[in-house]
Structure 1
Amino acid sequence: MVYVNQSILEASICQDSFYDFVQRFWDQIIPEKPIWNWHIKYLCDELQQMAERVFKRQPKEYDLIINISPGSTKSTICSVMFPAWLWTVDPTICSICGSYGYPLSLYLATKSLDVMRSDKYKKLFPNVLFKKSKMEEMSNTMQGMRIATSTGGAITGKHGHFIIVDDPISPKDITSKVTMDSANRWIDQTLLTRMVDRSITPVILIMQRLHQNDPTQHLLDKPEHGKIRHICLPAVITPKVKPRRLRGDYKYSEDIVEKAEKFCFETFSQTKEEYCFEKDINFERGQFVDLMIHHGFFADRHMDPKRLPFDVLCQAKADLGEFGYSGQFLQDPIPLGGGLFKVSRITIDIPPNKMKQRVRYWDKAGTADGGAYTVGALITEDLHKRIWILDIVRGRWDAHEREQIILNTARMDGRHVVVGIEQEPGSGGKESAQNTVRHLAGFRIRVDIPRGNKLQRALPLADALNGRNVYMVKASW
């Protein structure tokens, strides 16, 4: 009978698989029970694939950019576990790890050291011996190093086999062009000059998207940086998912399934079981949600249904607003501020049956042959807070024609639709609004006296539109 040393076997398993290493050392630094979503293994395998070439000192195939939501274990995988695993295979490896602030960089270095100084790590990898060193420059007796730095920091005389950049910008600094430019310049002029061998050392950038000119976009827009593999994992399924094949790994969260069952009962007065029995069909839970979507229910498939379910994302959107949520969770940063309506982000679709209050809002102009248009937009919101543009009436008319068009449109819309009229400043604007109100006697009317400038008033819709939350019916207009 052959006896196998259990420690040697476990060490070999960890060396052969970074994902197995993460699983076996998780409890050494994190007390909470792990949730092994599919993306964790995927990212581990991607990092290991890059590392295998470095171990052999082979030329790199590409640099790597990973865009993923906060709370997805990205830092634990890339900045804490990965440098610790590298030494189990090759203790001579030097990793340079940087984040937006020194306290964060030091925290991640401390967590990585906790892994390597655990009794389990010492038992499985006794050849990894530490030298006395500062936390920001950990080293072992085989000349391997883990160097911690922060955005803007100097790295004098040190070179890395891996350059790992984990969140180079803080969300609170995204409005500062100086900070954005400084981070991009630091990556270009400092980090990219700190490679053991430019042909071998890969750059790994892990971050949530924050801005249209953040380091992710900066590197993607500069072909001189060389080939880049871009992994993009929005919290919910969108066209931004890269590689595209990963869309198949997105699933509905449990709270979405429960809401779909409630929608089924409210729409058809039947439970899911009753509905499926009547239709003589047997649906899996995900397929049942797909069917309810066909009937007007709104739902997205999630990258991590347990960590980031529907309710958690709704709260994140409420906390961050359209701008923050679109960048940090959808990995699709939108312009901060007005004047930049990305009309390509309007979704053309069939509206659901159930809607909230419909409003026909008019922006009036008074010239018939030229100049500005008079526009009346019929808008509403569905039960899932999506904004719908249902109809547009637009033209250049004189005052008499304009008032008749507004009246005829109100008759066609019906008395259940609220008519919104903007009252322009000054006595002329007030008189024009009052004239329209008289013509619309018997209809529900709201006179809107705008506050603030047009830019400020446009921002909420701009954020919603750029955040892909504005929908439009297909029509000739």
Structure 2
Amino acid sequence: MTSTRRPSDQEAFDALLRHRLSAFTRKAFATVDPGATYSHNWHIDLIAEYLEACTRREIKRLIINIPPRYMKSISVTVAWPAWLLGRDPSERILAASYAEVLSLKHSMDCRLVMQSDWYRRIFPGLQLTGDQNEKRKFVTTARGHRFATSVGASVIGEGGRFLIVDDPLNAQQALSDTQREAANTWFDQGFSTRLDDKENGVIVVVMQRLHADDLSGHLLAKGGWEHLCIPGIAEVRTVVDFGRVKVIREPGDVLHPARESRQAIERQKTEMGSYAFAGQYQQRPAPADGGIFKAGWFRRYEKPLETYEQIIQSWDTASKPGQLNDPSCCLTFGVRKDGFDLLQAVVRRLEYPDLKALVLKQAVDWNPNAILIEDKSSGQALLQDLRRETKLPLIGINPEKDKITRASAVSAMVEAGKLALPTQAPWLTDFEMELMTFPNAPHDDQVDGLSQFLNWMRERQHAPEIRIRRL
């Protein structure tokens, strides 16, 4: 007769730590910060589920945005590398933060976990070498390693199957265009190239949002990244359903009320200011009501009118013919007696011949009374060519002052309810986001197109002719 021995409670718990990253993270927290009280919440499980998916290579590019002090570093930069190396001592991990001292702290915390009695019990096969067991880098006998570096530092000669970036900027650095661009360039041209396996390697970026063009914004604009965004306060009804985690957040729900109540968060918002709070807590680097343009200022229309007094198109073109970095934008407005309806926004990255073709197509589609084009750079060449080749109602605009001043000058018109947006349109979210985040957004082409149109309308004393337009 064969008997099956039931595992002891200790054996069952050890098995749980080996197979469930969330349980392992909780145990690691007690080791790294033994004097603190651990308060569990669903978001810790959710982060672990995403990281387990990364471990299985189901996700290879992951961005996690979450407020500060919600266990992001322990979860991603301390516990996960230790768990990876325990399961496979040959894994190679590179981890970076904005400051060397912070990178070294994460490295030492990870090593502290790996040298604990409970860790060596559940992962007896892992051994650290005696000659390469340092703060910056420790190596296993299976030649796996965890290497710590900082943003901007060279990582020549080092590589990994897992790359982690934890807070590439602090709040002060994020205010500097130069430092943001340096961090993004360091990632693009340096750190991201250190993957040992370009096909199956994994990169995880975890941070709080600090600016619309921080590393998260920079990478999300490129596309191809899985995005786990966890705001401190839910702004819309959100259904979280990933792996073993299923949660519904209603508008106003705080992320972890046992740790930080709504009242505490509101106090934090007062102390930080709405701009910083919107980025660091809400993962939206602009206040909900906007900056220069407030969300509550925009009127809404269900469907366009059958007739408009005029149809006006406003173009903001890329600064150089053939430039791919900045898009060109066409906004089409219907002019009514008491204001303007934005009928369409088209944003494209185009080389000059395709840009000219798009101007012609938009003119055919809408038959506008006037086409406003900024009379400089590619817009100047566009005006010259189109005037020579067509009879389109082209108007060259010579902008005065800077972008922010021009946008501020027309903000009163928007506040007065002169501009109406549709209740829904495929382009609407991108348009609103750019306006709400201006002047901190990575692109401002639609803002320029809007301010160009509104300034032109404001400066017109008398329209030469009013024609009723039927759509």
TM range (shorter): 0.5 to 0.7
2:86 is matched with which residue: 74, 85, 88?
88
CA distance in 2: counterparts of 1:139 and 1:214, whole angstroms: 32
Deviations 1:394-418 (A, max 9, x none): 99xxxxxxxxxxxxxxxxxxxxxxx
Deviations 1:23-43 (A, max 9, x none): 333311122121111110111
Q: Which residue of 2 aligns with 1:78?
A: 76
CA shift in 2, pair 1:244/1:466, >3 Å? farther
Q: Which residue of 1 aligns with 2:112?
A: 114
Q: Which residue of 2 aligns with 1:250?
A: 249
Q: Which residue of 2 aligns with 1:19?
A: 22
Deviations 1:351-403 (A, max 9, x none): xxxxxxxxxxxxxxxxxxxxxxxxxxxxxxxxxxxxxxxxxxx99xxxxxxxx
CA distance in 1: counterparts of 2:85 and 2:38, whole angstroms: 24
Q: Which residue of 1 aligns with 2:41?
A: 37
Whether the 8 Å CA contact 2:240–2:247 is kept in 1: the answer is no
1:44 Cα shift? 0.5
CA RMSD, aligned part only?
3.2
Identity %: 29
CA distance in 1: counterparts of 2:11 and 2:213, whole angstroms: 48
CA distance in 1: counterparts of 2:296 and 2:241, whole angstroms: 20
CA shift in 2, pair 1:218/1:130, >3 Å? same
1:157 Cα shift? 1.1
Whether the 8 Å CA contact 1:11–1:125 is kept in 2: the answer is no
Deviations 1:266-287 (A, max 9, x none): xxxxxxxxxxxxxxxxxxxxxx
CA distance in 2: counterparts of 1:45 and 1:188, whole angstroms: 27
Query: What secondary structure sits across from 1:179 in the alignment?
Result: helix
Query: What secondary structure sits across from 2:129 in the alignment?
Result: coil
Whether the 8 Å CA contact 1:72–1:307 is kept in 2: the answer is no
What letter is aligned with 1:229?
Answer: E
CA distance in 1: counterparts of 2:164 and 2:207, whole angstroms: 11
2:225 is matched with which residue: 222, 228, 231?
228
Deviations 1:236-272 (A, max 9, x none): 0124968689995337xxxxxxxxxxxxxxxxxxxxx
Whether the 8 Å CA contact 2:239–2:248 is kept in 1: the answer is no
Deviations 1:284-317 (A, max 9, x none): xxxxxxxxxxxxxxx8211211222112211211
Query: Which structure has the greater CA radius of gyration?
Result: 1
- Structure 2 unmatched ranges of 5 or more: 301-337, 340-404, 416-434, 438-471
Q: Which residue of 2 aligns with 1:165?
A: 165
CA shift in 2, pair 1:191/1:240, >3 Å? farther
Q: Which residue of 2 aligns with 1:213?
A: 213
Q: Which residue of 1 aligns with 2:51?
A: 47
Query: What secondary structure sits across from 2:228 in the alignment?
Result: strand
Query: What secondary structure sits across from 2:273 in the alignment?
Result: helix
Whether 1:123 aligns to 2:121 is yes
Query: What secondary structure sits across from 1:168 in the alignment?
Result: coil
CA distance in 1: counterparts of 2:50 and 2:124, whole angstroms: 27
CA distance in 2: counterparts of 1:310 and 1:138, whole angstroms: 42
Query: What secondary structure sits across from 2:93 in the alignment?
Result: strand
Q: Which residue of 2 aligns with 1:367?
A: none
What letter is aligned with 2:156?
Answer: T
What letter is aligned with 1:250?
Answer: R
1:100 Cα shift? 0.7
CA distance in 2: counterparts of 1:142 and 1:158, whole angstroms: 16
Q: Which residue of 2 aligns with 1:174?
A: 174
Query: What secondary structure sits across from 1:234 in the alignment?
Result: coil
1:345 Cα shift? 8.0
Whether the 8 Å CA contact 2:97–2:103 is kept in 1: the answer is yes
CA distance in 1: counterparts of 2:260 and 2:295, whole angstroms: 28
1:130 Cα shift? 0.9
Deviations 1:114-136 (A, max 9, x none): 11111211222221111133211
- Structure 1 unmatched ranges of 5 or more: 54-59, 252-298, 349-393, 396-452, 468-477
Moved more, 139-148 or 338-347: 338-347
Deviations 1:12-70 (A, max 9, x none): 222211112123333111221211111101111110121023xxxxxx54411111001
CA distance in 1: counterparts of 2:237 and 2:185, whole angstroms: 26
Query: What secondary structure sits across from 2:163 in the alignment?
Result: strand
Q: Which residue of 2 aligns with 1:101?
A: 99
CA shift in 2, pair 1:242/1:181, >3 Å? farther
CA distance in 1: counterparts of 2:78 and 2:164, whole angstroms: 11
Moved more, 147-156 or 232-241: 232-241
Q: Which residue of 2 aligns with 1:141?
A: 141
CA distance in 1: counterparts of 2:6 and 2:198, whole angstroms: 45
Query: What secondary structure sits across from 1:238 in the alignment?
Result: coil
CA shift in 2, pair 1:115/1:346, >3 Å? farther
- Structure with the larger strand share: 2
Whether the 8 Å CA contact 1:234–1:241 is kept in 2: the answer is no
Whether the 8 Å CA contact 1:230–1:242 is kept in 2: the answer is no
Query: What secondary structure sits across from 1:221 in the alignment?
Result: helix
Whether the 8 Å CA contact 1:165–1:205 is kept in 2: the answer is yes
CA shift in 2, pair 1:127/1:51, >3 Å? same
CA shift in 2, pair 1:220/1:3, >3 Å? closer
